[in-house]
């Protein structure tokens, strides 16, 4: 039985040293970037960057939502509700 060897998706003449954890494509040492101890391709890093950027926009939305609640309700009730929603969102983001 022979083992199949993977070759880099960008350099077909080079053996792959691993696979991108996002795209699952084989990559060589030149195409591989290690981040947090795992291999990423350029495309994989871009997908990771976009997903983190999108989660940052979600945080912006939640931060500003409590300001809307504050402006619609009485000040004390709004602050309490907004703070609870904000803390819930932070908790959910940390444990996803």
pLDDT in tens, 31-87: 999 877 888 999 988 888 887 776 666 666 666 665 566 566 655 565 666 677 777
29 token code pair: 């040492």
63 contacts 82 by C-beta, under 8 angstroms: no
Task: Name the pLDDT band for 30 (thresholds 50, 70, 90).
Answer: very high
Provide the residue ranges of all domains of the chain, joining segments of one domain with +: 1-40, 54-96
22 token code pair: 């996002």
Q: In the chain, where does DSSP find H-type helix?
A: 42-72, 75-94
The pLDDT value given to residue 16: 93
Does this model's pTM top 0.75? Answer: no
| Per-residue pLDDT tens over the stretch 1-29 | 445 778 999 999 999 998 998 899 999 99
């Amino acid at each position: 039985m022979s083992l199949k060897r993977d070759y880099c998706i960008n350099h077909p003449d080079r053996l792959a040293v691993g696979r991108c954890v996002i795209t699952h494509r084989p990559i060589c040492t030149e195409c591989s970037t290690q981040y947090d101890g795992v291999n990423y391709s350029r495309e994989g890093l871009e997908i990771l960057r976009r997903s983190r950027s999108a989660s940052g926009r979600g945080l912006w939305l939640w931060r500003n939502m409590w300001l809307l609640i504050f402006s619609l309700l009485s000040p004390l009730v709004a602050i309490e509700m907004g703070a609870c929603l904000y803390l819930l969102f932070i908790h959910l983001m940390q444990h996803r």
